[in-house]
Amino acid sequence: MKNLIHTGIIAGLALGASTVSQAAVPTTSDTAPTGTILISNDTASNVNMTVRVNEPKLTQDRTLGQSFTLASAGSFNAISVQLKGGGAATITNNFSALTAGQGNLLLNVFDLSGGGKSLIASPVVYDMAGLNLGSLNNHYLTFDLGETVTLSAGIEYGFELGWDPTYLDEEDTIYRNLALVRTVGGDVFSGGAQIGKGNYTSFPNVGLNSGPSVNDLDFYVHTVPEPSTYALLAGSSPSTGDDLLALPKGK
C-alpha cells in the first residue's frame, strides 16, 4: 500500500535567481535510459502533470516529484522523467523566450522516512532558459546530479522538481510550465506515489502530499557515465583538458 500523505518538513531554502551560478543543463533523448537503473516506472500513458509557476488562469503554483522504495541498496547520479506537452506548445515545455536567470529549475532528493532530510548538499539548479522542448513529446529529460547518491533498501525516498521560488514574486508574471508523463489506469507503480506541493514559497519544501495512485510519474533513477568514463569507453585516457570537447554529448 502506498503512503498517501507525507508530513515530513524541512526548512525552506529560497534560491534567488540572481544568486544562482553554474547551473547545469539537462539532456534529452528519444530512447529510455540504459545502464544501471535502480528503479523506474515507464508506461504508454498520454496524459501529463505539470511543474508550474505564474499560471495566468490563477491555477496554483506547484512542485512535482515521485517517491520510491528500493528492494536492494544501490547508488545513482541521475534522474530522468518523460516529457508530455499539451496542445499549447508555445507555453508548455517551451522556454525559448526565457533569458539567463529566468529559467532556473531546482531538483532535490530526500529521505521521506527521515522527515524529508535532503540527500544532496543543496538543490541542483538546471538552466532551462532558451530550451524549446515543446515538440519532444515522450522524450526523456535527464538531470545529472553531478554527484553519486547511495540509497538503502526498504526506505522511502523521493525527488522533487520546482521552479526557483523567486519567480513567485508579484513582479514576475512569466508563466513557466514543465509537463511530464503521468500514469493512468490504476495503481500501475506500486513502489511509491506522486508527490508535490501547491502554493509553495521556498525550496526544498518537503511537507509533501502524495497524489492519487493513478498519478505516478514516469521516471528513472539511474547512473550515467561521467566524462572520464566516456573517455575510457572510447579507448583513451581520462582527461580534464580541451580534448573533452570532442567527447559524445547528449541530445
- Domain presence at residue 4: no
Question: 123: cis peptide before it, omega within 30°?
Answer: no
pLDDT attached to residue 19: 37
Q: Is the dihedral of CA 123, 126, 128, 131 positive or negative?
A: negative
Separation of alpha carbons 191 and 69, rounded Å: 6
In whole angstroms, how large is the CA radius of gyration of the chain?
Answer: 18
How many alpha carbons lie under 13 Å from residue 225 in its C-beta half-sphere?
A: 15
Q: Is position 120 within any domain?
A: yes
Cα angle 120, 178, 214 (rounded to 5 degrees) comes to 85
C-alpha cell at 107: 531538483
- Domain containing 215: what range? 17-225
Q: What are phi and psi of 236, to 5 degrees?
A: -120, 175
Report, as ranges of residue numbers, the positions in the chain whose pLDDT lies below 50.
1-21, 228-251
> Is residue 246 included in any domain, yes or no?
no
Sign of the dihedral through C-alpha 29, 31, 36, 37:
positive
pLDDT attached to residue 7? 33
Contact 148, 186 (CB under 8 A): no
pLDDT at 233: 41
Is 167 strand, coil or helix? helix
- Give the three cell numbers for residue 166: 523567486
Res 247: pLDDT = 34
Contacts of 144 (CB under 8 A, 6+ apart): 24, 26, 27, 77, 78, 224
Note whether 75 and 66 are within 8 A (CB): no
- Does the residue 249 lie in any domain? no
The domain tally of the chain equals 1
Is residue 163 in some structural domain? Answer: yes
Q: Strand pairing partners for 65? A: 160, 195
210 has which bridge partners?
195
Is residue 231 in some structural domain?
A: no
CA distance 162 to 220: 18
Whether 143 is covered by a domain: the verdict is yes
Contact 30, 80 (CB under 8 A): no
Whether the link from the prior residue into 204 is cis, omega within 30° of 0, is: yes
Angle at 82 between CA 76 and CA 85, to 5 degrees: 155
Number of other CB atoms surrounding residue 32 within 10 Å: 14
Residue 180 C-beta-side C-alpha neighbours within 13 Å:
28
What pTM value is reported for the model? Answer: 0.82
Residue 241 counted as domain residue: no
